[in-house]
Copies of this chain bind each other. A is one copy, B any other.
Amino acid sequence: MFTDMLKNVRKAHPLVHNITNYVTVNDCANALLSLGASPIMADDEEEVEEITAISNALVINIGTLNSRTIKSMILAGRKANQLSIPVVLDPVGAGASKLRTETAFCLLEEVKFSVIRGNISEIKTVGRLSSSTRGVDADISDSIGDDILDKTAEFAVHLSRSTGAVIAVTGAADIVTDSIKTYIIRNGHPMMRRVSGTGCMLSSITGAFIAANAGTVDACAAALCTMGICGETAYENISSRVEGTSSFKTHLIDFMGLIDDNMLEGRARIEAR
């Protein structure tokens, strides 16, 4: 179902404008470059509209937001909407502070998003349900077991309808939906949770996938499978006696460049609901 999606990214070489946090920004840049896309980071209100205008996608990540960058996120988002450039929202830590929650709400009012991607805490917050966000990692209670998959998928479908965005909920299993098509994805490896930035990198490469491919929900699913498969192959390539989470991250970003469409198609563990 993902025919040529990676090839399209590498051919289009989309420029992805990231307004993102300073914790994982380097990993986002390198994940995009390894994948075959091109990153640009700019967050000053004096330039974000121009930078968005020359880009093929905009990714807004509220990981280390502040009053200065919140303004820039809104300006860039509106400009992207005007120019029909797709926008991804990563509401990092929504629910952990009023500032993050209210910024997420404000962004949803001001900007039309193509994709909203977060863990279940963040997505529940965005959908105004109560949620106990624990830092920026998903709570253990937020891991998506089979038992709560149905309920979460239903919630995601509702949120997709109300926002018009593809909703991607990532965890032990991922849910992707545009309210019409819903996918469950089971790629990935638990070690991904012990590396900072796997969620942020995923949001950034999602920008590249939807910029280079038609069909946002399928392109978004391809991004999630790609990330998950890179996590699996990274784990397969670490030598556990002397390699740990940092070697794992190196391998993960490496595999962003080594994965091809055959590998994506062959290893994707995705089912339509």
Q: Contact residues of A with B, CB < 8 Å? A: 15, 21-27, 29-30, 33-34, 38-44, 46-47, 50-51, 54-55, 63-68, 93, 96-100, 134-137, 193-197, 237, 242-247, 249-258
Contact = CB atoms under 8 A, between A and B. Distances in A.
Nearest to A44: B66
Given A47-B97, A67-B46, A242 B237 contact: yes
A134 B41 contact: no
A18 to B, nearest CB: 9
B30 A196 contact: yes
A212 to B, nearest CB: 15
A98 B250 contact: no
- Copy number in the complex reads 3
B23 A23 contact: no
Given A50-B97, A51-B97, A93-B40, A26 B254 contact: no
A96 B50 contact: yes
Nearest to A31: B246
A206 B101 CA distance: 30
Given A29-B196, A42-B93, A100-B47, A242 B258 contact: yes
Nearest to A32: B196
> Top 3 closest A-B pairs, CB basis?
A244-B254, A246-B253, A47-B97
Which of A42, A64, A249 has the most B CB atoms < 10 Å from its CB?
A42
A96 B64 contact: no
18 contacts: A22-B25, A24-B26, A26-B196, A29-B197, A30-B195, A30-B245, A30-B249, A33-B245, A34-B244, A42-B93, A44-B66, A44-B99, A47-B96, A51-B96, A244-B258, A246-B251, A247-B251, A247-B254
Contact of A66 (B68, B250, B256): B68
A34 B89 CA distance: 27
Contacts of A98: 46-47, 50
Contacts of A40: 93, 96, 135-136
Which of A97, A194, A242, A246 has the most B CB atoms < 10 Å from its CB?
A246
